[in-house]
Structures are given as C-alpha cells and as structure tokens.
C-alpha cells in the first residue's frame, strides 16, 4: 500500500487529538464509528502507522521515513496485522491463508467471502505470542469490524480482555449495531464526524472532480463516497436511470432489463435516495440527494400515495442490505420497481 494511504485526511486534524498516541487516550482498543465513505479507514491507518513509527513527528503522526514506516508501507511489518474479509483481500491482491481454495461463484461462497471467520482470528495466535520487534507496539487492524461472525468475535474477546503487553487494537465499522455487545463494551468508541461541506468540496476539487457539489449531494456529504460516484461512466448511468425513474410517461420496468450483479447495489441506493427526497418534499423539507430533479420530485410529491411510499421506503432499507448479498438481479429490481409503481398509482 502506498505511503499516502497511511496519512489521515485534511479534515481529521481535530479528531486526531483524541487519538494521537502522545496526547490522546491510552486505551488499548479503539472502535472508529461513522458513515461509510467519510475516511474512517484512513484515520485508523494513520493511527496504526503512528503507533508503530520509530521517530514520530511533532503532531505524533508517523514520520514516513523510518525503517518501521517503510516496512508498514511495504506490507511486511512484523508487528502489524490487517484482519478483513476474503473479498477485500482479493480486491487488494492478497490472500487469506484461512480461506482455503479460490472462492467459487455461488451464493454460499459469496456470503462466506464477506465474513471474517474464526480461523482468521485463530491464525493470530503466533502474532500475539511472540515478542514485538525492538520492544515496540503491536497493532491489529480490523475492518470492517461488523464482518466478524459470532465465533470469530468470541475468539477475539479473550485477547481484547487480556491484551499482551504493547498490543493495540483498531476496529473500524460503519454499522455499530451489527457488532456483538461484548466487543463494543471492550473498546473505546470514537465517532468520526462528517467533514464540513467546504472541506469536502475543496478535497474533491484537489482530486480533480469538476462538479463536487453534485456528487456531494448524491453521497450525502461523504467525500470518499462522492469521489467514487464522480466517475463519468457512473454519472452517465445514473442520469439515464433517474430520467426513467422520474418520468411517469415511461415504463420503469424497462430498467430491470439492464440490471446486473455489478449495478444492483448502486441502483438500490439510487432508488432509496429518490424515495427519501420524495418523503422530504411531502414533509416540506429540503431535497437532499437529487436537487437537480426538484421540479419532477415536486410534481410527483402531490400524486404519490403516502402509505405506499412508506412501505417502499421500508422495502428499500431491507433491500439495501440484501443488495450486497447474492441475488437474482432482474427479479430483485422488478420487485422494487413494482413497489414504486404502486406508489405512483
């Protein structure tokens, strides 16, 4: 992983003072919580690198030049372990020793690839039993922490309760409610806030995003999510999707003919945002996600059936989670679009 990936983001200076090793809490386990796409992982990585750095800077961040930093950036630091799901390891080009053979394209294997299992935790036994390099810190980074299944969480619990000397734990989660209470009770929870609109806009401009306000609206102010959404191909796909969804003159069922495994989760998110904007307009609140479609939303808000709109909102909340699982894309989207048609009748 590149050196820049271990640096905190510009808007995280204030919260860094709660975490920095020299001034922040000395708790052995931190749980970084917050919305997806706001930079929790970057903050956690910055903390990990600072804990392991041999010559930290004045603000306690890693120097980036010492032997320990070089090991960390190269991915072979003896006192650092990154515990994540097999699917994320595959995305990073790594392999999980506990995952066995290459994952097959089946529903059960797909679900397994999104879970941190007990074998992954058991494989850490030697990591915690050996002395640390040069007597320094030992860091276990777990992300996403909610991916720990019950057996894995229970296996980790004893180490969290009685951590070996110098051991520090950094857990990152976007869904605290999915974490076992036993894990929550043994970590210091730190809520990572959204950056200001000004900070997020400037960061996106620095990244080369030409229309930061539009993608920030789509991402509900989450800058990393907005950066992902700024891809021109994705913006074109969204424009085509929303044009059909927002028009009563077109048949929304035609959309499902274009759905596939790659875009089913994204389409579900777009429908959920559309639903929230309709609810906002009905309740005389500002439109948050799709202000460029305010005229359409205003027209539809006077015609929708409120009860059925609330039913659709509930269905979409469940579907948002289900869309990350193996589903039949066509049937899945047909069901959601059928509920949308009921809203408009």
pLDDT by residue (tens digit) across 28-38?
999 999 999 99
Per DSSP, helices labelled H in 250-328 are 264-282, 294-301, 306-322
Q: What is the pLDDT of residue 107?
A: 46
Position 103 pLDDT exceeds 50: no
Q: What is the pLDDT of residues 317-330, one digit of tens each?
A: 999 988 888 889 88
Give the number of other Cβ atoms within 10 Å of residue 221's Cβ. Answer: 19
Q: Helix 306-322 crosses helix 264-282 at what angle (to 10 degrees)?
A: 150
> Cα 331 to chain center, whole Å?
26
Average of pLDDT values for 54-71?
Answer: 93
Q: What is the pLDDT of residue 27?
A: 87
The span from the first CA to the last CA of the chain, in angstroms, equals 52
Q: What is the pLDDT of residue 92?
A: 65
Percent of the chain with pLDDT over 90: 64
Position 5 pLDDT exceeds 70: no
Residues 203, 42: Cα–Cα separation, whole Å: 14
Task: Name the pLDDT band for 256 (thresholds 50, 70, 90).
Answer: confident
Candidate from 98-102, 178-182, 201-205, 252-256 with smallest mean pLDDT: 98-102
Position 97 pLDDT exceeds 90: no
Q: What is the mean pLDDT of the chain?
A: 87
Q: What is the pLDDT of residue 3?
A: 63
Average of pLDDT values for 266-276?
Answer: 94
In sign, the C-alpha dihedral spanning 272, 334, 225, 32 is: positive
Residues 6+ apart with CB under 8 A from 8: 16, 39, 42, 43, 46, 61
H/E stretch holding 30 reads strand 29-33
54-86 burial, b at 16+ Cβ within 10 Å, e below that, comes to eebeeebbbebeeebbebbbeeebebbbbbbbb
Task: Name the pLDDT band for 24 (thresholds 50, 70, 90).
Answer: low
């Amino acid at each position: 992983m590149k050196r820049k990936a271990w640096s905190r983001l510009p808007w995280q200076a204030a919260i860094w003072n709660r975490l920095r090793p020299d001034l922040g809490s000395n708790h052995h386990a931190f749980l970084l919580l917050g919305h997806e796409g706001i930079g929790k992982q970057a903050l956690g990585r910055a903390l990990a690198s600072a804990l392991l750095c041999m010559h930290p800077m004045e603000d306690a961040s890693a120097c980036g030049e010492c032997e320990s930093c070089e090991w960390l950036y190269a991915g072979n630091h003896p006192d650092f372990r990154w515990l994540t799901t097999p699917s994320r390891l595959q995305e990073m080009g790594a392999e999980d020793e506990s995952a066995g053979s290459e994952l097959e394209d089946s529903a059960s294997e797909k679900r397994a690839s999104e879970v941190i299992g007990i074998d992954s935790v058991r494989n850490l036994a030697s990591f915690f039993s050996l002395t640390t390099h040069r007597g320094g810190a030992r860091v276990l980074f777990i992300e996403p922490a909610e991916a720990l299944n019950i057996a894995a969480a229970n296996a980790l619990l004893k180490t969290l309760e009685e951590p070996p000397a110098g051991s520090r734990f950094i857990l990152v989660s976007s869904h605290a409610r999915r974490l076992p209470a036993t894990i929550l009770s043994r970590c210091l929870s730190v809520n990572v806030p959204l950056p200001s609109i000004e900070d997020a806009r400037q960061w996106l401009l620095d990244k080369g995003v030409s229309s930061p306000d539009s993608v920030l609206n789509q991402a509900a102010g989450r800058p990393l999510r907005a950066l992902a959404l700024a891809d021109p191909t994705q913006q074109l796909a969204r424009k085509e999707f929303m044009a059909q969804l927002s028009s009563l003159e077109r048949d929304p069922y035609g959309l499902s003919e274009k759905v596939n495994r790659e875009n089913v989760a994204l389409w579900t998110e777009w429908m959920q945002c559309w639903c929230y904007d309709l609810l906002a307009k009905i309740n005389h609140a500002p439109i948050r996600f799709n202000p460029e479609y305010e005229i359409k939303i205003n027209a539809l808000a006077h015609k929708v059936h409120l009860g059925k709109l609330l039913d659709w909102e509930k269905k979409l909340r469940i579907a948002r989670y289900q869309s990350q699982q193996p589903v039949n894309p066509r049937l899945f989207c047909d069901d959601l679009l059928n509920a949308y048609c009921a809203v408009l009748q």
